[in-house]
Structure 1
Amino acid sequence: MTATVRMVELDGALLFDVPEGWVALSSAAVGGGLVWPRRVVNLDVGADFLRTDLEAYVDERLAGVGPPVEGPVTALLTAADVRSWTGGESDGVRAWATVAPTKPTWAARPGGLADPPRRPGDRADTGDGPPAPGTVNIVVALPVPLTTSALVQAVGTVTEAKAQALLHAGVPGTGTASDALVVLCPDSAALGEQPVAFAGVRSMWGHRLAEAVRQAVATGMQLHPWPRVAADPDRLW
């Protein structure tokens, strides 16, 4: 039986146990890049998070969350309530997302315009305090090894699928400035298998990846539709 990534929901954190010999490409601020993690975490940091010593912060949080792990850790941070995570699956590809685009932005501002306004009811609109940071964090796992080039393609596919789901949900932007992702797959060297060379949106595995991500993000937006109706300004996603 092929080993797979397993996710556990704990207090304020999603913990992903990664099989030995798996590789990741990630934009995470802690443990990102091309790495071989044994654990990926998505940590709820709250709305007032201001720390910049992120590695130390993650170490502190992990000391009290879940069993210890031997090996590298990749950490995502979010102000979203991670209990509201959503998932998607397509022919063996799995995606997990925490979706909170409370402050969306365009990758390139149309016509030099300012970023889109925050959601109605957000604290910046009520004047009751600073805006709650919003983030869309995505973790995906493919059951087949990818070449390094295909890993990069997969990152692009995840990003495109996320943007598509947000736009279809009416969000005026392609994401937020703090979005992060992790693409996980078996390492071909460890398996002794030929890696898949393509993971763009029209490739077989890229199509499956895009569909899993679209499902996860679209479901997240269904839980918190845009624009927010009768919003509670003190409620985080």
Structure 2
Amino acid sequence: DGVGLMTAADVSAYAHADDGGVEAFVTAGVDVRGWAARPGEGAAGVQDPGTINVVVAVPAALTDAALVNAVATATEAKVQALVEGGYDCSGTPTDAVCVVADAPGPHREAHAFAGPRSLWGARLARAVHRAVLQAVVIADRDGPAVRGQA
């Protein structure tokens, strides 16, 4: 029936973008950022605040596999936007991506793929990309303090 995210992000400062009916809502706190596969890191201690939350609404039915694919597509678009925005990172340690889609039904067949070259995946990627670019500007109006720091 719905989804909820617990976050320290200022959710009143969100960005929104849409593409062909796909809507992306993004909050971004980019004070703590890094690469996903950073050597020698674990979950020791409490992390400083910083998170990118992406919620995407797709007005089409997706199979379970396509939903997983949509999360990967959204994540790829997020990383592309971060790199293009001057952030040398793949995100923050606490990022969240949530994709909601219509339920399949007797007259609504579910799409089996949501990669960036599929109809709905391409729309999702463009919407997420634009929303992340906007969200990092909202969160960090002066740009990244030290680009490349992780």
Could you tell me the TM-score, scaled by structure 1's length?
Answer: 0.55
Q: Secondary structure at the match of 1:174?
A: coil
**Alignment match of 2:26 (pick from 84, 89, 97):** 97
Letter aligned with residue 106 of structure 1: W
Structure with greater contact order relative to length (CA < 8 Å, sep ≥ 6): 2
CA 1:192/1:170 → structure 2, altered by over 3 Å: closer, same or farther? same
Counterpart of 2:2 in structure 1 is: 39
Unaligned runs of 5+ in 1: 1-37, 41-74, 115-129, 230-237
Counterpart of 1:220 in structure 2 is: 135
Letter aligned with residue 98 of structure 2: V
Q: CA RMSD in A?
A: 2.0
Report the alpha carbon displacement of residue 205 of structure 1 after superposing the two structures with TM. 1.0
Counterpart of 2:97 in structure 1 is: 181
Letter aligned with residue 211 of structure 1: R
Counterpart of 1:79 in structure 2 is: 8
**Number of aligned positions between the proteins:** 140
User: Which aligned pairs between 1:141-152 and structure 2 lie closer than 5 A?
Assistant: 141-152=57-68
1:195 aligns with 2:124: no
User: Which aligned pairs between 1:7-22 and structure 2 lie closer than 5 A?
Assistant: none
Report the alpha carbon displacement of residue 105 of structure 1 after superposing the two structures with TM. 1.3
**What is the alpha-carbon distance in structure 1 between the residues aligned to residue 88 and residue 67 of structure 2?**
28
1:135 aligns with 2:51: yes
**What is the alpha-carbon distance in structure 2 between the residues aligned to residue 188 and residue 131 of structure 1?**
39
Report the alpha carbon displacement of residue 131 of structure 1 after superposing the two structures with TM. 7.0
**What is the alpha-carbon distance in structure 1 between the residues aligned to residue 90 and residue 116 of structure 2?**
17
Letter aligned with residue 221 of structure 1: V
Report the alpha carbon displacement of residue 199 of structure 1 after superposing the two structures with TM. 0.5
Report the alpha carbon displacement of residue 113 of structure 1 after superposing the two structures with TM. 8.3
Unaligned runs of 5+ in 2: none
1:207 aligns with 2:136: no
**What is the alpha-carbon distance in structure 1 between the residues aligned to residue 110 and residue 5 of structure 2?**
27
